[in-house]
A = this chain, B = another copy of it.
Amino acid sequence: MGIVVQKYGGSSVADADGIKRVAQRIVNTRKQGHDVVVVVSAMGDTTDELRDLAEQVSPLPPPRELDMLLTAGERISMALVAMAIAQLGHKAQSFTGSQAGVITTGEHGKAKIQKITPGRIENAIADGAIAIVAGFQGVSEDTKDVTTLGRGASDTTAVALAAALGAEVCEIYSDVDGVFTADPRIVPTARKLDRISHEEMLEMAASGAKILHLRCVEYARRYNMPIHVRSSFSTKEGTWVLPAPSENEEAMEQAIISGVAHDRSEAKITVVGVPDKIGEAARIFQTLADAGVNIDMVVQNVSAAATARTDISFTLPREDGQSAMAALAKVESEVGYERLLFDDQIGKVSLIGAGMRSHPGITSKFFAALAGAGVNIEMISTSEIRISVIVDSADVDTAVQAAHTAFGLDADEVEAVVYGGTGR
Q: Is A86 an interface residue (CB 8 A)?
A: yes
If the complex has contacts A16-B57, A19-B57, A53-B16, are A82 and B68 also in contact, measured as CB distance less than 8 A?
A: yes
> In whole angstroms, how far apart are the Cα atoms of A72 and B71 in the complex?
8
If the complex has contacts A71-B75, A75-B75, are A80 and B53 also in contact, measured as CB distance less than 8 A?
A: yes
Contacts of A73 on B, CB cut-off 8 Å? 72
Which residue on chain B has the smallest CB distance to residue A86? B62
If the complex has contacts A83-B66, A94-B68, are A76 and B57 also in contact, measured as CB distance less than 8 A?
A: no
Q: Which of A54-69 contact B (CB under 8 A)?
A: 54, 56-59, 61-62, 64-66, 68-69
- Residue picked from A19, A20, A86, most chain B C-beta under 10 Å: A86
The A interface is mostly helix, strand or loop, or mixed, namely helix
> In the complex the two chains form, is A79's CB within 8 Å of B94's CB?
no
Q: Is A87 an interface residue (CB 8 A)?
A: yes
Contacts of A20 on B, CB cut-off 8 Å? 57
> In whole angstroms, how far apart are the Cα atoms of A79 and B71 in the complex?
10
Q: Is A196 an interface residue (CB 8 A)?
A: no
Contacts of A189 on B, CB cut-off 8 Å? none
0/1 string, A73-110, CB within 8 A of B gives 1: 10110111011101100001110000100000000000
> In whole angstroms, how far apart are the Cα atoms of A94 and B69 in the complex?
10
> In the complex the two chains form, is B57's CB within 8 Å of A80's CB?
yes
Q: Is A50 an interface residue (CB 8 A)?
A: yes
Which residue on chain B has the smallest CB distance to residue A61? B83
0/1 string, A351-379, CB within 8 A of B gives 1: 00000000000000000000000000000
If the complex has contacts A57-B83, A84-B58, are A72 and B64 also in contact, measured as CB distance less than 8 A?
A: no
> In the complex the two chains form, is A86's CB within 8 Å of B61's CB?
yes
> In the complex the two chains form, is A79's CB within 8 Å of B75's CB?
no
User: A122 to nearest B CB, angstroms?
Assistant: 15
Contacts of A68 on B, CB cut-off 8 Å? 75, 78-79, 82, 94
User: A56 to nearest B CB, angstroms?
Assistant: 4
> In whole angstroms, how far apart are the Cα atoms of A69 and B93 in the complex?
12
Contacts of A72 on B, CB cut-off 8 Å? 72-73, 75-76, 79
0/1 string, A225-244, CB within 8 A of B gives 1: 00000000000000000000
> In whole angstroms, how far apart are the Cα atoms of A69 and B69 in the complex?
14
- Residue picked from A78, A80, A86, A87, most chain B C-beta under 10 Å: A80
Q: Which of A1-36 contact B (CB under 8 A)?
A: 16, 19-20, 23
Contacts of A80 on B, CB cut-off 8 Å? 53-54, 57, 65, 69
User: A188 to nearest B CB, angstroms?
Assistant: 37
> In whole angstroms, how far apart are the Cα atoms of A36 and B70 in the complex?
25
Contacts of A61 on B, CB cut-off 8 Å? 83, 86-87
Which residue on chain B has the smallest CB distance to residue A52? B16
> In the complex the two chains form, is B94's CB within 8 Å of A76's CB?
no
> In the complex the two chains form, is B62's CB within 8 Å of A82's CB?
yes
User: A310 to nearest B CB, angstroms?
Assistant: 45
User: A316 to nearest B CB, angstroms?
Assistant: 29
> In whole angstroms, how far apart are the Cα atoms of A72 and B49 in the complex?
14
Contacts of A66 on B, CB cut-off 8 Å? 79, 83
Which residue on chain B has the smallest CB distance to residue A62? B86
CB-defined A-B contacts under 8 Å, sample of 28: A16-B53, A16-B57, A54-B83, A57-B84, A57-B87, A58-B83, A58-B84, A61-B83, A61-B86, A62-B83, A62-B86, A64-B93, A65-B80, A65-B83, A65-B86, A65-B92, A65-B93, A66-B79, A66-B83, A68-B75, A68-B78, A68-B82, A69-B76, A69-B83, A71-B75, A72-B75, A72-B76, A72-B79
Beyond A19-B57, A62-B83, A72-B75, 15 additional contacts (C-beta under 8 Å) are: A16-B56, A16-B57, A50-B76, A53-B80, A57-B83, A57-B84, A57-B87, A58-B84, A62-B82, A64-B93, A65-B86, A65-B94, A68-B78, A68-B79, A68-B94
